[in-house]
Amino acid sequence: MKLGCIGDDFTGSSDLANTLAKAGMRATQYTGVPAGNADPSVEAGVVALKTRSVPVAEAVEKSLAALQWLQAQGCTQFFFKYCSTFDSTAEGNIGPVADALAEALEAHKVIVCPAFPGTGRSVYQGHLFVNDVLLNESGMQNHPLTPMTDPDLRRWLAPQTRYSVGHVGPGPVFGGAAAIAAALEGEHGKGHRHIVVDAIRDEDLRAIGEAARDLPLITGGSGVALGLPANFGCVAGDVPWQGQGGRAVALSGSCSVATRAQVARHAAWHPAREIVAADVIEGRLSAQDIATWLLDQDGLPLAYSSADPDDVRAVQEQYGRERSAAALEGVFAEVARLLRAGGVTRIITAGGETSGAVVEALDLGTLEIGPEIDPGVPALRAGPDLAVALKSGNFGAEDFFEKADGVLRG
C-alpha cells in the first residue's frame, strides 16, 4: 500500500476513494480499522471512521489507530479527509485530529484544503465558497450538528488547534507546484504548522498534489487528493464494475438544500414516505413499519427524514439534539437490516450520518470502488449480492436517486 487515508465519515471516505480510483490508483474503502492486513494489490487504503461529531478524545484515538494500521501496511504518505464544507465546530475534531496525526508523523507544512471545484467548493483568500456564495450563506449555517457560520478557514481552525495557521494565497497557487512548495516553506518559516491553501480549479489541485509529493501528511476534502496518484506513477483509466440486479431502495436523512431538492424531485415520480422525527421518538412509527412499506412498493421507493431547517430546529428544541439524531440514525440502521433480510440488493443513502448508520448496521467491512455516479459519489460493491451508494448531503444532481440506481444496476 502506498497512500494511507483516514476519513471522518463514510460518505466522505467513498468520495476520496472515488477520486483516487479515477486517477488510476487501486483504492479500497475499509469500515473502521481492519483486523488483518490488506490485500497486497491495494495501492490506496481509505479507513472510514465515524468521528466527525464524536468527542474529541474519541476522534483522536480512532484516527491514530487507523494511522498505525496504515503504517503497518507500508504506506509512505497519509491523507486526513474531512468534508469539503469543513464540517466542525469551535470545539470540533478537524484541528485535534490533524494535530495528533502531524505529531505522530513529525509532519510540518500540513496542507489544509477542502476545495472541490467539481462540486462547487473553492477556497479563495482563505475563505471557503460553495458555488458563488460564502460557506456561511450556503445553507451550511443551518446544519443540525455542525452549523458553519464563518467562511474564513483560518479563523474557524484556529480555536481547534494547538498550532499556528498559515495561508498560501492564489498568487503562488496559480504559479504552479514549485511556487506552491516555496510558499509552503515560507509559511513554515513563519512558524505555521497547518497551512490553508487556496484552490478554485482542478489545475490548482493537481499543482498542490505535485507540491505535496514529499509531505508525509495532507489534509482536506477529496479534491486535493486529485494530484496525488500521479506522484506514485499512476495513470487514470476506466474503473471496472459488475452491475447488481434485484431490488433497490433509497434512504435519506440529510437536510441539506441539495438533498431536499433531490427528495422533492424523486417523490414527484416515485413512491416516497416521510419519516417524521417526532413519530419515531415517541414510538408512533417503527423501523418495521417503514421497511414493510418500502418492501411493498414497486420501482425505487424512498424513505426520508429530510426536513426544512426550521422543522429540524423545532424537533431538537423539543427533544434535544443528541436524542433526535440518535433516534433517526437508529431507525435507519434497523430499516437497512430489515431491507437486507427482505431481499434488497441495492441501497442508496443520502447524508453522512444516515450512511454511517446503514454501513455499520450491515457490517460492511470492505467496499470496492466502482464508477462515479455524480462528482464525489461512486458506486460501491459491498458484497457478492449487494451494491450501495453513499451520498454526502450536498452532493449530486436533482435526479441523483434514479441515476445512482442506474449505475448500481449496470
Q: Which of the residue ranges 221-230, 243-252, 318-327, 361-370 would you say has the lowest mean pLDDT?
A: 318-327
Q: At what angle do helices 400-409 and 257-267 cross, to 10 degrees?
A: 80
pLDDT of residue 394: 83
Going 166 to 171 to 174 to 175, the CA torsion angle's sign is: negative
Residue 238 is assigned to a structural domain of this protein: no
In tens, the pLDDT along 345-370 reads 999 999 988 998 999 999 999 999 99
Q: Does 269 share its domain with 143?
A: no
State the pairing for strand pair 3-7/77-81. parallel
Looking at the fold, whether 152 and 40 belong to one and the same domain comes out as yes
pLDDT tens per residue, range 94-124: 999 999 999 999 999 999 999 999 889 999 9
Q: Kindly state whether residues 113 and 253 are assigned to the same domain.
A: no
Given a cut of 80, is residue 306 above it in pLDDT? no
Contact by Cβ (8 Å): 297, 271: yes
Per-residue confidence (pLDDT) for residue 229, from 0 to 100: 95
Q: What is the mean pLDDT of residues 40-49?
A: 96
Number of domains in the chain: 2
For residue 309, pLDDT beyond 80: no
Residue where a domain stops, chosen among 231, 266, 282: 231
* 155 shares a domain with 128: yes
Nearest to residue 387, comparing CAs of 355, 357, 346? Answer: 346
Residue 299 and residue 204 share a domain? no
CB atoms < 10 A from the CB of 2, how many? 20
Judge if 40 and 148 occupy the same domain: yes
Same domain, 157 and 258: no
Grid cell 477542502 is found at: 114
Residues 99, 67: Cα–Cα separation, whole Å:
13
Domain boundary among 231, 255, 280: 231
Contact 304, 251 (CB under 8 A): yes
Assess whether pLDDT exceeds 90 at residue 4.
yes
The confidence band for 14, taking pLDDT boundaries of 50, 70 and 90, is: very high
Domain identity same for 396 and 268: yes
Question: Across 133-215, where does the E strand assignment appear?
Answer: 133-134, 164-168, 192-197
User: Is residue 36 a part of any domain in this protein?
Assistant: yes
**Number of C-beta neighbours around residue 385 at 10 A:** 13
In a domain, 241, yes or no: no
CATH number at residue 36: 3.40.50.10840
Per residue in 246-266, pLDDT (tens digit) is: 999 999 998 888 999 999 999
Q: Are residues 162 and 303 in the same domain?
A: no
Instruction: Considering only residues 186 and 89, tell me which one the structure prediction assigns the higher pLDDT.
Output: 186
- Boundary-marking domain end, from 206, 231, 256: 231
Other CB atoms within 10 A of residue 372 CB: 18
| pLDDT over 80 at 224, yes or no | yes
**Cβ count near 235 (within 10 Å):** 9
The domain that holds 383 is classified in CATH as 3.40.980.20
User: Is it the case that residue 307 has pLDDT exceeding 90?
Assistant: no
User: Does residue 226 share a domain with residue 274?
Assistant: no
Per-residue confidence at 85, pLDDT binned at 50, 70, 90? Answer: confident
**Domain presence at residue 237:** no
Give me 15's grid cell. Answer: 468520495
My answer on whether 328 and 202 are in the same domain is no
Instruction: Mark 32-49 as b/e (b = at least 16 C-beta within 10 Å).
Output: bbbeeebeeebbbbbbbb
Q: What is the pLDDT of residues 120-147, one digit of tens each?
A: 999 999 999 999 999 888 787 877 777 7
Domain membership flag for residue 239: no
| Arithmetic mean of pLDDT, 76-91 | 87
Residue 287 · residue 335 · CB < 8 Å: yes
Burial 206-215 (b: 16+ CB within 10 A, else e): bbbbbbbeeb
- Give residue 35's domain range: 3-231
Which secondary structure element, helix H or strand E, spans residue 79, and what is its range? strand 77-81
Q: Is 242 a domain residue?
A: no
Q: pLDDT at position 164, please?
A: 97
Nearest to 97 by CA among 183, 17, 9: 9
Kindly report the number of other CB atoms within 10 A of residue 131's CB atom. 9
Residue 313: pLDDT above 90? no
Supply the pLDDT for residue 86.
85
- The average confidence (pLDDT) of the chain is 93
Smallest CA-to-CA distance from 107 within 27, 184, 15 is with: 184
Widest Cα–Cα separation across the chain: 64
What is the crossing angle of helices 321-341 and 309-319, to 10°? 110
Give a yes or no: residue 291 inside a domain: yes
Average pLDDT over residues 201-218: 97
Q: Identify each DSSP E strand in 209-321 by its residue range.
A: 217-220, 247-252, 272-274, 302-304
- Per-residue pLDDT at 92: 87
Same domain, 348 and 227: no
DSSP class of residue 238? P
* Domain assignment present for 340: yes
